[in-house]
Structure 1
Amino acid sequence: MPKNVIEIKHPLIQHKLTIMRDRSTASGKFRTLLKEISLLMGYEATRDLPMTLKNIETPLAEMNAPTLAGKKLCIFSILRAGDGLLNGLLELVPSARVGHIGIYRDPQSLEAVEYFFKGPQQLSDRLSLVVDPMLATGHSAIAAISHIKSKGARDIRFICLLAAPEGLQALHEVHPDVTVYTAAIESGLNEKGYILPGIGDAGDRIFGTSR
């Protein structure tokens, strides 16, 4: 297993994830839980943001207080399921810039096909968080990260709800500099490239659609 993988085993995250795994959990509840988990995971993924000191006056005294330094971070959502994680992260960091990458997985080859990209400028000076609930084969994550690197991004982290060992290995081979934050490392993939035991299709469960 690659070293730059952080599996967040906080009890609240694991409890919420168990409810999400249950096939009887409705889409509304599923969305709410994913948003809550993404906020909790965001604390871990941003724990080492650069800080500086700012002189302020409290009601009682003057002080040099810690505040975030540098340009605002950017969150890249891999459409469409990535928006389920995006919402919670924006509650945590409302000033973040947002980018979207449209990628779908070809059902035959399982390769990633990109159809849309829109992101902020000056990515070389920003932390970029790339979000997608599932890291299965890794093809979508690899394609998304390769694209934002081509736009100048250098400090990139990937946040997912579930990760398959196959996807982690594939991502590490192409982008060994990218740290992955996940709530669970699963047992593997089935013949269709779905994560087991997993949660099913994340996009379908978030938006109440079906295949």
Structure 2
Amino acid sequence: MNGVTVINHPLVQHKLTIMRDKHTSTAGFRRLLREISTLLCYEVTRDLEMTTTTIETPITEMEAPTLAGKKLVFASVLRAGNGLLEGMLDLVPAARVAHIGLYRDPKTLQAVEYYFKAPDSLDERLTIVVDPMLATANSAIAAVERLKERGAKDIRFLCLLAAPEGIANFQGAHPDVPIFTASIDKQLNEKGYIVPGLGDAGDRMYGTK
């Protein structure tokens, strides 16, 4: 699909398979989510802009590569997005963090916002929105819209699983935002869950129902 990158690294796919298994414990799911998010972060940041800086090694002075521009922003769609966020911060500890509190109305499946907090200068930063599931895409669409309202221009969306319906809805609303995912699953069921999916990522991560 245009605008969608499927991260099919063997370690990503292996860990995702274990996460899908309904017998995987809460602790195991949480650990795997943190591990896989680091691998996903590696791919979504593969083409970051670079510059050089002068340093001294123990041997000599050199011009060495370093990241250019302002610090990245990781925007977590609460609450499940925090599972991806933790592993990504392990890899990029200097990143700034935005939190977007949204829940899905069980009747309409529409996103309802209850919290928003983001760093300044979003117009000068790459913002990576993280949410494990791109199902109906209503939450993802709302999250990106809020970030754009605050000035964000360079945005990417990162998830574990995506449904074809969610991809279509998201790209219809935000065709300028590329999607990175570990898998494009078959479809949504009548309740708006991804099939085959892995269940509710937040419930499995926190042991709730």
Mapped partners of 2:160, 2:66: distance in 1: 29
Deviation at 1:195, TM superposition (A): 0.3
3-state secondary structure, aligned to 1:63? strand
Alignment pair present for 1:83 and 2:82 = yes
Task: Indicate the residue corresponding to 2:184 in structure 1.
Answer: 185
Amino acid of the residue matched to residue 118 of structure 1? K
Gap regions ≥5 residues in structure 2 = none
The Cα offsets for residues 110-150 of structure 1, whole Å up to 9 and x where unpaired, read as: 01111100010000000000000000000000000000000
Task: Indicate the residue corresponding to 1:55 in structure 2.
Answer: 54
3-state secondary structure, aligned to 1:129? strand
Task: Indicate the residue corresponding to 1:122 in structure 2.
Answer: 121
Task: Indicate the residue corresponding to 2:173 in structure 1.
Answer: 174
Runs of 4+ in structure 1 deviating by more than 2 angstroms, as ranges, are none
Mapped partners of 1:95, 1:13: distance in 2: 24
Deviation at 1:50, TM superposition (A): 1.0
Mapped partners of 1:7, 1:51: distance in 2: 24
Mapped partners of 1:75, 1:154: distance in 2: 14
Alignment pair present for 1:72 and 2:71 = yes
Deviation at 1:61, TM superposition (A): 1.2
Mapped partners of 2:10, 2:75: distance in 1: 27
Mapped partners of 1:186, 1:199: distance in 2: 10
Task: Indicate the residue corresponding to 2:11 in structure 1.
Answer: 12
Task: Indicate the residue corresponding to 2:159 in structure 1.
Answer: 160
Task: Indicate the residue corresponding to 2:105 in structure 1.
Answer: 106
Amino acid of the residue matched to residue 173 of structure 1? G
Amino acid of the residue matched to residue 25 of structure 1? T
Mapped partners of 1:16, 1:48: distance in 2: 24
* TM-score of the superposed pair, with normalisation by structure 1: 0.98
3-state secondary structure, aligned to 1:199? coil
Mapped partners of 2:47, 2:14: distance in 1: 26
Q: Percent identity?
A: 64
Amino acid of the residue matched to residue 187 of structure 1? K
Aligned residues: 209
Task: Indicate the residue corresponding to 2:135 in structure 1.
Answer: 136
Task: Indicate the residue corresponding to 1:199 in structure 2.
Answer: 198
Mapped partners of 2:52, 2:79: distance in 1: 38
Alignment pair present for 1:36 and 2:32 = no
Mapped partners of 1:137, 1:182: distance in 2: 15
Mapped partners of 1:193, 1:201: distance in 2: 11
Mapped partners of 1:16, 1:50: distance in 2: 29
Task: Indicate the residue corresponding to 1:25 in structure 2.
Answer: 24
